[in-house]
Structure 1
Amino acid sequence: MAFDSFSDIEQRNRLPTLFEVLSRRTLAPVDLFSFYIYMRDQQRSVDYLDFWLDVSQHMSLCRHYVRELRRSVLVATPDLEKSGSKRSSTVLDNLENLGDIPLVEAGPSGMRGGIRDAEEREADQRLSAFLRSDGRPAGHSPQSSLGSQSAARIPSNERPSGRSLSTPEMAHDSNSPGHTVARPDIRASAEKILYTFLLPGSEREVVLPEELVVPVIQMIEEEGRDDPEVFDQVKDYVFQAMERDAFPGFLQAKALGNLVPLSVLARLAFALISFGGGFWGAFYVVLRDKPRHIRCWVILPFVIASYFLTSYQYKIDPVMAFLGYSEYTFMNWAPIREPYVRKLLNKRATATALTAFFVAAALSILFILVPGTML
Structure 2
Amino acid sequence: MAESPLPLELQHRNRFPTLFEVLSRKTVAPLDLFSFYIYMRDQQRSVDYLDFWLDVSQHLQLCRLYVRRLHRSVIGDTPDMEKNSKRSSYILDNAGEGPSDEKGNTSDQRLSAFLRSDHGSRQHSPQNSQGSNQSHPSVRERPPRPSFMTLDTNSPGDSSSPGQDSSVDNVPRREDLRASAEKILYTYLLPGSEREIIIPQSILNEVQEAIEGQDQRSDPELFDAAKDYVFQAMERDAFPGFLQSKGLGNLVPQSMMIRLIIGLISFFGAVWTSFILIFLDKSRATRCWIILPFTFAIYFIFTHQYMLDPILALVGFSEYTLMDFNRMREPFVKRTLNKRSFTMLLMALLLDAAVCCLFIFVPGKRL
TM-score of the superposed pair, with normalisation by structure 1: 0.82
Change (3 A) 1:171 1:220: same
Structure 2 match to 1:213: 204
Answer whether contact 1:302 1:360 (CA < 8 A) is retained: yes
The DSSP-based 3-state class of the residue aligned with 1:181 is coil
Structure 2 match to 1:159: none
Change (3 A) 1:166 1:278: closer
* Residue type at the aligned position of 1:126: R
Answer whether contact 2:97 2:107 (CA < 8 A) is retained: no
The DSSP-based 3-state class of the residue aligned with 2:199 is coil
* Residue type at the aligned position of 1:205: E
CA apart distance, 1:100? 3.8
Structure 2 match to 1:124: 108
For residues 1-375 of structure 1, what are the structure 2 equivalents within 5 Å?
6-78=7-79, 92-101=86-95, 116-117=100-101, 120-135=104-119, 136-138=122-124, 169-172=151-154, 176-177=158-159, 179-222=170-213, 223-375=215-367
- Per-residue CA deviation, residues 219-248 of structure 1 (Å, 9 max, x unaligned), is 001121000110000100000000000000
More displaced 10-residue stretch of structure 1: 8-17 or 285-294: 285-294
- Mapped to 2, the partners of 1:78 and 1:167 lie a distance apart of 41
CA apart distance, 1:137? 2.9
CA apart distance, 1:94? 2.3
Change (3 A) 1:98 1:199: same
- Mapped to 2, the partners of 1:204 and 1:294 lie a distance apart of 62
Answer whether contact 1:65 1:182 (CA < 8 A) is retained: yes
CA apart distance, 1:116? 4.5
* Residue type at the aligned position of 2:274: A
- Per-residue CA deviation, residues 104-124 of structure 1 (Å, 9 max, x unaligned), is 9xxxxxxxxxx7428943221
Aligned pairs, how many? Answer: 330
CA apart distance, 1:103? 6.9
CA apart distance, 1:283? 0.8
* Residue type at the aligned position of 2:7: F
Change (3 A) 1:124 1:95: farther
Change (3 A) 1:89 1:167: farther
- Per-residue CA deviation, residues 234-285 of structure 1 (Å, 9 max, x unaligned), is 1000000000000000000000000111111111101110011100111111
- Per-residue CA deviation, residues 149-189 of structure 1 (Å, 9 max, x unaligned), is xxxxxxxxxxxxxxxx9966422489935732221111111
- Per-residue CA deviation, residues 48-84 of structure 1 (Å, 9 max, x unaligned), is 0000000000000011111111122112212995xxx
The DSSP-based 3-state class of the residue aligned with 2:178 is helix
Answer whether contact 2:284 2:360 (CA < 8 A) is retained: yes
The DSSP-based 3-state class of the residue aligned with 2:314 is helix
More helix by share: 1
- Mapped to 2, the partners of 1:318 and 1:120 lie a distance apart of 40
CA apart distance, 1:93? 1.8
* Residue type at the aligned position of 1:342: K
The DSSP-based 3-state class of the residue aligned with 1:326 is strand
- Mapped to 2, the partners of 1:216 and 1:257 lie a distance apart of 40
* Residue type at the aligned position of 1:57: Q
- Mapped to 2, the partners of 1:274 and 1:227 lie a distance apart of 61
- Mapped to 1, the partners of 2:351 and 2:229 lie a distance apart of 47
The DSSP-based 3-state class of the residue aligned with 2:320 is strand
- Mapped to 2, the partners of 1:188 and 1:102 lie a distance apart of 20
More displaced 10-residue stretch of structure 1: 24-33 or 179-188: 179-188
CA apart distance, 1:291? 1.1
* Residue type at the aligned position of 2:61: S
* Residue type at the aligned position of 1:325: F
Change (3 A) 1:55 1:177: farther
- Mapped to 1, the partners of 2:96 and 2:14 lie a distance apart of 28
CA apart distance, 1:355? 1.5
The DSSP-based 3-state class of the residue aligned with 2:158 is coil
- Mapped to 2, the partners of 1:202 and 1:80 lie a distance apart of 52
- Mapped to 2, the partners of 1:183 and 1:276 lie a distance apart of 68
The DSSP-based 3-state class of the residue aligned with 2:15 is coil
The DSSP-based 3-state class of the residue aligned with 1:170 is coil
CA apart distance, 1:208? 0.8
Answer whether contact 1:60 1:168 (CA < 8 A) is retained: no
User: Identity, % of aligned pairs?
Assistant: 54
What runs of 5+ residues in structure 2 fail to find an aligned partner? 126-146, 161-169
